[in-house]
Copies of this chain bind each other. A is one copy, B any other.
Amino acid sequence: MQPVLDYLDQNRERFIRELCDYVRFPSVSAQPQHRKDLEACAAWLKNHCESIGLQTRLCSTAGNPIVVAKTPRKPGSKRPHFLVYGHYDVQPPEPFELWKTPPFEPRIEGRTLFGRGSSDNKGQHLAHLNAVEAYLKTGTELPCDITFVIEGEEEVGSSNLGIFLKENQAELACEGIIISDNGIPSLKHPALTYALRGILAIEVILHGPSRDLHSGIYGGSVNNPAMALCQLLAGLRDKNGRITIPGFYDDVVKLSTFEKKQLARLPFNEDAFRKFMGVPELFGEKGFTSVEQRTARPTLEINGLTSGYQGEGSKTIVPSWARAKITFRLVPDQKPDKLRKIVLAHLKKLCPPNVRMEVKSGHGGEPYIVSPTGPQARAAMRALKEAFGHEPVLMREGGSIPIVNDFKKLLKAETLLLGLALPDDNAHSPNEKFDLDCFEKGMRMGAFLWRELAS
C-alpha cells in the first residue's frame, strides 16, 4: 500500500494541473451551443484514462458520449468488480457577472481551486482515477476489478445512461457502485451518505392574450398571465412552508428516531449557516430542523420566472405569456411519475378559465435510501476514517443523483455515496470551487477503499 500513497504524494502537483486542464472544458450539457465542448471534454477524458493504463472506450449515445475505462482484467480472475460513476458535464455558469474570475479559467487561491465543474463533478471522480493510477503505475496489485463509467448528461437528467446500462448489463454487473458526487460537512466530518432526494422538473406556461397588449388601452379587460401565474404558484406552498398539493406527502416515509439522532450529530450552526446563505432569516417547513428540511423533506422550488419585459426601464404591457421553471425535491418513497400526475391535475384544477395552461414535463428521478450498516458501508467507513483521520458521520443528501436508482434496478447493486465537496463549494452557483485537501484525501480514500471493500 505504501508505494500507492507515496505515488499520490509525489504526483500531487501534476494531478492539480490535470484537474485544471479538465475544468477548462465548458462542458455545459443544458446548452446546445456547448455540444462540441462536451465532445472535446470526453475525448480528453478518454485520452487521460488510456494514459494511466485503463482500457478505455468512448460509447456514443443519443446524447453525449459515455467514457468507459476498465482496469486490466486477469483472465479467469474471480476478483470482485466495482463500478465508479462520475459525470464530465457541468451546470450552466450563468450569471457570468457574479463570477470573480471566468468560470472556465481555473484559478488556485491557497488550497482552493475555482472553476465550474471543479467539485461537481470533475475533481471528485478525478480523485478516484488518480488513486487507481497510483495502483497501476506502481505495479501494486488491485484487490478488485474496477470500471469507471463517466457520463455527460447528469445535469440534464442522465436520460441516456439507463439505456447504456441496459445494453451493457452483463459487462457492468458488479458488487457495488462508488459515487463521489456530493458533500461532507467538513474535512473533520468525512461522511457516508445513505439517502438522496429525488427530483421532478416541470415548466408551467400560462398563455394570455395572443400578443403583448398596451396596458393602458386594454389593461383591465383580460387576465394578466403574469398575475395568473403568481396566483397559481403562490397557493402551492403555505406559510408554514408546507406544499398544499393534495396527496403530495402521502408516500413520504417519516424519519425514525435513529435517523433523527444521526442527523443531529452533523455539525450545524444556525447563525453561521444563515450568514453563509446570505439571507435575513432562514425559512423552511415548520416542525423540522434545517438539516432535515434540506435532506429528508420534499420541496417545491421555482428555479426561474419569465414574463413580459425584461429590459431596462418600463414597458407598459399586459404580457402575452408567463413561464415558471419548477423542480420538486422528493424523498423516499415518493415516485416522480405518480407526483407528476398529482401536480398536473392540481394545476389544471387551479388554472383560471381566462388563460391557457401549457405544462412541459422535465426530467424525474426517484429518491434513494440504503441501509448504512451493511458490510460495504462499513468498509467505506473504515476507508474514510483512515484517509481523513476523523470519525466519519452518516448523513442524507438533499441533492438528487437519479442514476443511483437505475444502478439498483439494472445492475442489482447498491451505491456507496462518498462525497468530497465542502458545504461552501458553490455547486450550481457562481464561483464553484473544490478544496485541494478534499482532492488529496479523496485520492487516499479511493486507495484504501479497494483494500477494504475486497477484504
Contact = CB atoms under 8 A, between A and B. Distances in A.
A435 to B, nearest CB: 16
A373 interface: no
A40 interface: no
A226 B279 contact: no
A98 interface: yes
A237 interface: yes
A314 interface: yes
A211 B279 contact: no
Nearest to A297: B220
A2 interface: no
Given A219-B299, A299-B219, A277 B209 contact: yes
Interface string A352-382: 1111100000110000000000000000000
Contacts of A324: 226
A10 interface: no
Interface stretch (A48-56, A122-130, A397-405): A397-405
A308 B319 contact: no
Given A307-B302, A314-B363, A316-B327, A283 B222 contact: yes
With most chain B CB atoms within 10 A of its CB, the pick from A95, A313, A314, A423 is A314
Nearest to A362: B314
Contact of A311 (B31, B98, B199, B213): B31
A319 B306 contact: no
A282 to B, nearest CB: 6
A455 interface: no
Interface string A200-223: 010100001111111111111111
B314 A277 contact: no
Nearest to A421: B217
Contacts of A423: 217
A237 B227 contact: yes
Interface string A413-455: 0000000000100111111000000000000000000000000
Interface residues of A, number: 99
B306 A354 contact: no
A220 B398 contact: yes
A169 to B, nearest CB: 28
A199 B316 contact: yes
A231 interface: yes
A131 interface: no
Nearest to A295: B220
Given A277-B210, A282-B221, A305-B226, A299 B215 contact: yes
Contacts of A79: none
B303 A306 contact: no
Contacts of A363: 314
A156 interface: yes
A399 B325 contact: no
A229 interface: yes
A188 to B, nearest CB: 19
Interface in A265-306: 273, 277-285, 290, 293-294, 297, 299-306
9 contacts: A94-B311, A156-B314, A209-B277, A215-B327, A216-B397, A226-B302, A231-B234, A305-B305, A310-B310
* Cβ-closest 3 pairs across A and B: A210-B278, A216-B399, A234-B234
Given A219-B299, A222-B284, A305-B306, 10 more contacts: A31-B312, A92-B311, A220-B241, A226-B304, A226-B324, A227-B301, A231-B234, A305-B308, A306-B306, A308-B325
